[in-house]
Amino acid sequence: MVVYSLYILNKAAGLIYQRDFNEGLRKLSSNDYLVLSGTFHAVHAIASRISPVPSSSGIEVLETETFRLQCFQTLTGTKFLLISEPRQQGSDAILRRIYELYADYVIKNPFYQIEMPVRCDLFDRHLGAYIKSL
C-alpha cells in the first residue's frame, strides 16, 4: 500500500491543500500544481456533462501504468484526489476517512476560512498518522 500524494480542491477549482507522502517524488513548481488541479477540475466537469448516463458523478478513477488517481467529490463540491500506486486497493475508503479528518480538523477549526488554503497543524498531524498507519 503506497499512497503518493493528496490534493484537495475547493469548488472553484482552487488547490487548497497538497501533500506528498513519499520521499523522492519530483516536486512541481507551485504554478504547475495549480495548473494540474485546474485541468482535472475542468476535465471532471466535462466528463460529468458528456456522460451517456444521466446525473453522472464525473471521473472517479484514473488508472495509468505508473499511478492510480482516485477522486472523491463531497456534496459541497470539494474534491479530494488521492494518487497512489497502480494496484492500490480501497482508495475510496481512504478518501472517506481523509474527508472525515478534514471535516473534523479543518472545518471545525475557528481559524480556518472556508475555501482558503488549509493550514492546520492538527490536520497535518492526524493525516500523517493515518497515512502512516495504512
Partner 1 sequence: MSKLPTPSRASSDKSSSHPGFAVRSSATSSSLASRRATVYDRNMNRRAPDLALSTFAFLFSEMVQYSQKNVKGVQEMENRLSAYGYHVGQRVLELATVREIKNAKRETRVLGLLQFINTTIWKAIFGKVADALEKSKDQEDEYMIIDNNPVANSYISVPKELSSLDCASFQAGVIEAVMDGCQFPAKITAHSVPTELYPLKTVFLVKLDPLVIEREKYMR
5 strand-pairing partners: 20, 83
Nearest Cα neighbor of 116 from 30, 41, 16, 13 is 16
Residue 84 neighbours by CB under 8 Å, 6+ apart: 1, 2, 3, 4, 67, 68, 70, 91
Contact 85, 67 (CB under 8 A): yes
Minimum distance between the CB of residue 120 and partner 1, rounded to whole angstroms? 4
Question: By rule CB under 8 A, what string of x and - marks binding of each residue 27-46 to partner 1?
Answer: --------------------
Number of residues that bind partner 1 (CB under 8 A): 12
Contact 16, 28 (CB under 8 A): no
Stretch that binds partner 1, among 8-16, 20-28, 30-38, 120-128 (CB under 8 A): 120-128
Contact between 110 and partner 1 by CB under 8 A: the answer reads yes
Minimum distance between the CB of residue 66 and partner 1, rounded to whole angstroms? 34
Contact between 111 and partner 1 by CB under 8 A: the answer reads yes
Exactly one of 57, 86, 96, 108 binds partner 1 (CB under 8 A); that residue is 108
Exactly one of 7, 21, 102, 123 binds partner 1 (CB under 8 A); that residue is 123
Residue 109 neighbours by CB under 8 Å, 6+ apart: 120, 122, 123
Binding site for partner 1 (CB under 8 A): 104-105, 108-111, 119-123, 125
